[in-house]
Every structure is written in C-alpha cells, then in structure tokens.
Amino acid sequence: MTDTTPKIVSQTIFVLNGPNLNLLGVREPEVYGHDTLDDIANMLDDRARELGLEIDLRQSNHEGHLVDWLHEAQARDIKAVLLNAGGFTHTSVALHDAIKGVKTPVIEVHLSNPHAREDFRHISLVGQAARGTISGFGALSYTLALEAAARF
C-alpha cells in the first residue's frame, strides 16, 4: 500500500554565509556595502514574515560547517537555502558536491557582482550546482533571492 499523504515541506529558509561575511559593514564597504550581517538578518526576517516564511541565518568561516548545514537542510525538509559562500564560491568542490547531493533548492547569493571583479572570481563552483544566482545588488541580493525561494 502506497502512502499518498502529501509531504509537508518546512516554511524555513536557511541563509548560509561563508568566510569573512561576519565582517560585513567593516570589510571593504566600497565593495560589499555598509550593511552588517545583522542588518541583513533583520531585513530578511521582516520580509519573510510578510511571505509566511521563517529565516534561519548562519555564518561560518569553516567550509565543513556549510557542508553540514546543506545536509541538515535536506534532513529537515527546509524549503530552500540562500548561500553566500564568500571565497569558497570559487574553490569549493565540497560545497559544489553537497549542493548537487541534496534535493533542497539552493540559490547562490552575492552582494557584489563577481563578473565585474577579479578574473579568479568569474568561475563559481557553487553557481554551477545551484538552482540560480543573484548578485550585484548589495543587501538587496538576499531579499531578491528570498522572493525567488518563496515560490518553490
């Protein structure tokens, strides 16, 4: 007998942030803006409530934490993940493989436009595995990604 009960997907969105994003507002504000990670969290919390969603925002300077959180997103049936992998964007096969290995949709997010910066930033291993990428709009990039994730 097959269970035809529809699976309930969480209305939580993970917002995962990689290395150095704890320094937002201080580190190179001419590139990343003046908003802190707390400012972004508050902005996302407000918009998420309007959309009937919840935000679980996390930051780590350690690649393995991000991989573990991607696995957790699938295990908990999280609706979607917004991932700003910072410098790991361009180097992490582990994050690429973790994204490919989970069914949870992942949206890559960047404050700046990597394609308008140094050549080494033009390749995104994260973006090659993600559902889509939103970049170049400062803190608004996170809100735009949240709007997209709300439609999954």
C-alpha span between 147 and 152 (Å, rounded):
10
Cα–Cα distances (Å) from 18 to 11, 47, 57, 108, in that order, read 23, 22, 11, 12
Q: How far apart are the first and last CA of the chain?
A: 29
Residue 3 forms part of a structural domain: no
Residue 4: inside a domain: no
In-domain check, residue 25: yes
Query: Is residue 99 in a domain?
Result: yes
Mean pLDDT of the chain: 93
- In degrees and rounded to multiples of 5, residue 84 shows phi and psi of -105, 95
Residue 121: pLDDT band by 50, 70, 90 thresholds?
confident
| β-bridge mates for residue 106, sequence order | 81
Q: Please give the backbone phi and psi of residue 83, each rounded to the nearest 5 degrees, phi first.
A: -125, 115
Active site residue 110: yes
Say which of 32, 71, 115, 122 is annotated catalytic.
32
Domain of residue 40, residue span: 12-149
Catalytic residue among 34, 62, 71, 110: 110
Residue 85: inside a domain = yes
Using alpha carbons, select from 128, 75, 74, 84 the residue that is nearest to residue 105: 74
Dist CA 55 CA 42 (whole Å): 10
Stretch (H or E) spanning 99: helix 93-101
Nearest alpha carbon to residue 86 among 25, 44, 146, 32? 32
Query: Tens of pLDDT along 64-112?
Result: 999 999 999 999 999 999 999 999 999 999 999 999 999 999 999 999 8
- State residue 30's pLDDT score: 79
Res 147: pLDDT:
98
User: What is the pLDDT, as a whole number, of residue 13?
Assistant: 98
Q: Distance between CA atoms of 120 and 150, rounded to whole angstroms?
A: 32
Question: Cα separation of 25 and 8, whole Å?
Answer: 38
> Does 135 map to a domain?
yes
Among 17-31, 66-80, 114-128, the minimum mean pLDDT is found in 114-128
Q: Are 49 and 11 in contact (CB under 8 A)?
A: no
pTM, two decimals, is 0.92
- Categorize the per-residue pLDDT at 33 as very low, low, confident or very high, splitting at 50, 70 and 90: confident
Give the total number of structural domains in the chain: 1
Question: Tell me, what CATH number does 35's domain have?
Answer: 3.40.50.9100
pLDDT surpasses 70 at 4: no
Position 88 in a domain: yes
